[in-house]
Structure 1
Amino acid sequence: MTKPVLLNNIDHKDLRVITRRGADLGDERAFAPTFPDEFRSLQAHYPIVFRKADDGTFEPIALFGFENDENLFLEGQEWQATTVPLLVERLPFLIGQNGDELTVHIDLDNPRVSTTEGEPVFLAHGGVSPYLDHVNAMLLAIHEGMRSNAAFTDALARNELLEGFALDITLDDGSQHRLGGFYTVNEERLAQLPAAAIDSLHKAGFLGPIYFQIASMSNFRSLIERKNCRHAAGR
């Protein structure tokens, strides 16, 4: 359950947000949505793949694990990567819109919301805290970034660059796992695109994210190693 409300410095003057990581705070998740402008920073750590929605559209996500509610980057209160996807880091805040104006909402039922622990949302005299300034910047980046997803994935689909893949994993203990239902960019098709199509992708700013996504697939090796280490530790 969520309880998003419009943030204000009267009703929420005493609110704090717990910024440490932890399964008790909702970080035990297997993936997070992302967007092309974020690929550069995420591809150093996570596999970036695409999932297909019921309406046939595609959405890029950063993978953290191979099973539901499995985050192989989470160790106690530590997230073992220097970059946390913005759609995770911004919690418990959400973007609202009133006409053309963007508004900030907060989910009061989120376990990160507190009055005794964490970063203050507002200053004692009612002003915006440095932490909330940071949140506002994140939410704006998310808003602008997520708006680019439709054009980006439409361009990939139009050029027939997306292909489904399955990953069969055998762990050190002999157990087998299969990851399927996701899509990636087909490098061979990309290399065979005519110059006009490549130029169109370049002018739209999509070539960089395409190559970052392809490069991110090498992170499956380290993700499998994280899975092996967790199995070896009996977790």
Structure 2
Amino acid sequence: MSTTPTATPPGLEGSMFLFSKPALLNKEQHGKLGVSRPDRPFAFAEKIRAIPLTVSEIPSASRDYPVIFSEKATALPLAVVGIIDDENLFIDKESGEWEQNVYVPGYLRRYPFALATDRGADPQNPRMAMIVDEGYAGITENGELPFFNNGEPSDAMKQAMEYCQTYEQDRQNTLRFSQELAKYDFLAEQVAQFTPDGTDQPQPFAKYVGLEENKLNELPDDKFLELRKSNILPILYSQLMSMGNWRALMERRARRHNLQGVDVLKSMKSA
């Protein structure tokens, strides 16, 4: 698979999550540009509730976030970072930094770059081309990490390309995981609940698609063995373990907004 900045900039179709102005990276348009760390480095992701994960990330992400699935039919994993409001609870409001010692999903570590299919002059033999979000605040002329040196990709850009290639491979593995999971009737729409301090009545605050543990436990031995050999069993258990993070996420929101007891309840009902 060829992954190089495209020499000619054909039009880019469609949209990409978090990319405000995606463009095919090329030396004609971006030869003098580079990346410098902006004042608020994660500001681009501060108004989201969930972030795509690859299947290999689920064990790490499950320690910090509830891990859910996008839908039953095409079950792509997501890390939940916000609830009720369009607010990422893991980004500091003042500094725009991600909370320390918390796993940062690869989708964000890859940003402002990505890969896309570039059919260019030969639609029958497409290649993977680098995408850059021109709307990212860290992209400036003569940035600390230039995109190009003397018309060729810089060392920093080569590293970004390698990371994007690795991420793309993980993404393809995630699609295969989704196809494998679809063979089993494990997923269902579920509801997360929270009981505020000073009350005795649990209140729903989030609907999501998750794994039904009882269906996994009731699997016949031959099917369970088949599942174990497919190497997705540890992934499923990690997702189940991550459900314990719902309460921590709700408490995180309450601390940020100085909510207690009945105030938490009111904010849930008014959202």
CA contact (8 A) 1:64 1:73 kept: yes
Name stretches of at least 5 consecutive residues in structure 1 with no aligned partner.
Answer: none
1:83-138 CA distance string (max 9 Å, x none) = 21111222221211233532211121233322265x41435444544433342233
Q: Which residue of 2 aligns with 1:94?
A: 114
CA drift at 1:41? 1.9
Q: Structure 1 residues 180 and 226, CA, compared in 2 at 3 Å: closer, same or farther?
A: closer
TM-score of the superposed pair, with normalisation by structure 2: 0.72
Q: Which residue of 2 aligns with 1:226?
A: 252
CA contact (8 A) 1:14 1:120 kept: no
Q: Structure 1 residues 5 and 123, CA, compared in 2 at 3 Å: closer, same or farther?
A: closer
SS of match in other structure, 1:202? helix
Q: Which residue of 1 aligns with 2:74?
A: 57
Identity %: 26
Q: Structure 1 residues 104 and 85, CA, compared in 2 at 3 Å: closer, same or farther?
A: same
CA drift at 1:219? 1.7
Query: 2:103, 2:152 → 1: CA distance?
Result: 28
* 1:169 maps to which of 194, 208, 213: 194
SS of match in other structure, 2:180? helix
Between Structure 1 and Structure 2, which shows a larger proportion of strand residues? 1
CA drift at 1:223? 1.2
Name stretches of at least 5 consecutive residues in structure 2 with no aligned partner.
Answer: 1-18, 119-124, 261-271
* 2:87 maps to which of 70, 79, 90: 70
Which structure has the larger Rg over C-alpha atoms?
2
CA contact (8 A) 2:34 2:141 kept: yes
CA drift at 1:220? 1.7
Q: Structure 1 residues 144 and 23, CA, compared in 2 at 3 Å: closer, same or farther?
A: closer
1:79 aligns with 2:104: no
Q: Structure 1 residues 106 and 66, CA, compared in 2 at 3 Å: closer, same or farther?
A: same
1:6 aligned partner, one-letter code:
L
1:177-205 CA distance string (max 9 Å, x none) = 63333111122211221233223223322
Higher alpha-carbon deviation: 69-78 or 225-234: 225-234
Summarize the alignment of residues 178-197 of structure 1 with structure 2, pairs less than 5 Å apart.
178-197=204-223
Query: 2:189, 2:168 → 1: CA distance?
Result: 28
Query: 2:159, 2:220 → 1: CA distance?
Result: 42
1:4 aligns with 2:22: yes
Q: Which residue of 2 aligns with 1:148?
A: 173
